[in-house]
Amino acid sequence: MTHSTSSAGAAFSSNAEVVDADLATVFHSWSAQAKLAPLAIKTGDGCVVEDYEGNEYLDLSSQLVNTNIGHRHPRVIEAIERQLAELPTVAPSHANAARARAAELVLEHAPEGFSKVFFTNGGADANENAIRLARLHTGRDKVMSTYRSYHGNTGSAIVATGDWRRLPNEYSRGHVHFFGPFLYRTEFWAEDERQECERALQHLERVVQSEGPETIAAIILESIPGTAGIMPPPEGYLQGVREIADRYGIILIFDEVMAGFGRAGEWFAFQAFGDVRPDLITFAKGVNSGYVPLGGVIIPEEIASDFDERVFPGGLTYSGHPLACAAAVGSIEAMEDEGIIENARRIGAEIIGPRLRELAGKHESIGEVRGRGVFWAIEFVSDRERRTPVGDEFIGRLKSALLERGVLPFTSNNRLHVVPPCIITDEQINRGLDAVDEAIASL
């Protein structure tokens, strides 16, 4: 095969060629390598992606729930191109306008009192550095997080994660897990959201007391757990965790990596749940839709000032990379100017939520639907009364049925996550949900 020097993909003319080349050379994450059958994607525009043979798919996955502003948004592309022409890269020790402007825009949407942004390469190392900051600020060691969570795949972030992926990776010290609220599969024998909230908070406080409050540096929570099942917290839960953290001098970290920047219909998902302020906020994904990798920790003055005279023992070669920060500037400004956050909120309230509840009344295989904004989960069960999760075979068939109907889905365990870009139109989301309806019926 002769490879062109003008374009990375110019030598490939079919999906099979791309897949064969990929499987021959690329080692894939979270996968048994011999069982892979990746979809070849050549390009995208807005909410639609296209393969190498011209087949189009409505992207209800937002890739890894990160292309909040859609594919090839012109404002973001233009921002990257301008920065590329001016300065493609610079060491983080130097000052750069793109980095400063990106930090200003992020801080404008954070609660009052947050004053600095530490930029990272993505969400995992954002959580890693938030944990570092909490330990340094408190002088304590332990970090608490829920079992139903995902915080990334670096040393402390993967051990803070609650799901199976932490088990082969438990090399980091001082991590403690607890159960967060999830009424549909309650761990607390709760009968309603109020009971679930009260009992989950009592459970958390007892774990804090049993572990020794003086040993606990941080509680890290996804404001809305994403990969684990898109589970909006019950009313009062985040405030209750805040009160427990305050009572024992614990730093509260809200992981907004997946839920932030429009995904839940707000700039930050926790803003949908009343007056609650974390001590640290982590972000990535939707801040620039991953056009160039970027994440960060939003830091309040009371923690940032710890390092006025004391050296912060952390850093990254690409911290605040100018192309990534330019992409964030283009993305945030477009979100502000084009009402993209408001669109996500409206789409969830007026279309996705009502239509998914309608599907739940129609299909016996749906146990529950839940979410907000463009951040929803359909939980499939083989027995509604017992809430028995369906197996992999059902989800595999559902995924195939959706691809046949021109929809690119995001599936996890026994769930379909409905997570389109925040820019999706009424016509597009209705078409996608029609396909979901048809695909479920076909099974």
Identify the H or E element spanning 436.
helix 426-442
* Predicted pLDDT of residue 13: 82
Domains and CATH numbers, the chain: 41-72+340-442 (3.90.1150.10), 75-338 (3.40.640.10)
What are the pLDDT digits (tens) for 18-54? 999 999 999 999 999 998 999 999 999 999 999 999 9
* Predicted pLDDT of residue 2: 35
Angle at alpha carbon of residue 188, lines to 377 and 146, rounded to 5°: 60
* Predicted pLDDT of residue 12: 82
* Predicted pLDDT of residue 9: 61
The answer, as to whether pTM is greater than 0.85, is: yes
Low-confidence ranges of the chain (pLDDT < 50): 1-6
* Predicted pLDDT of residue 163: 87
What are the DSSP calls for 57-104, one per residue?
A: EEESSHHHHT-TT-BT-HHHHHHHHHHHHH-S---TTS--HHHHHHHH
* Predicted pLDDT of residue 10: 63
* Predicted pLDDT of residue 276: 97
Identify the H or E element spanning 124.
helix 123-138
Give the other-Cβ count within 10 Å of 65's Cβ.
23
Residues 114, 282 contacting (CB under 8 angstroms): no
Return all residues near 144 (Cβ < 8 A) that are at least 6 apart: 175, 176, 177, 178, 204, 207, 208, 211, 216, 218, 219, 220, 250
Residues 432, 409 contacting (CB under 8 angstroms): no
What are the pLDDT digits (tens) for 350-395? 999 999 999 999 999 999 999 999 999 999 999 999 999 999 999 9
* Predicted pLDDT of residue 226: 97
* Predicted pLDDT of residue 7: 62
* Predicted pLDDT of residue 6: 47
* Predicted pLDDT of residue 170: 87
Phi, psi of 208 (to 5 degrees): -55, -50
DSSP label at 250? Answer: P
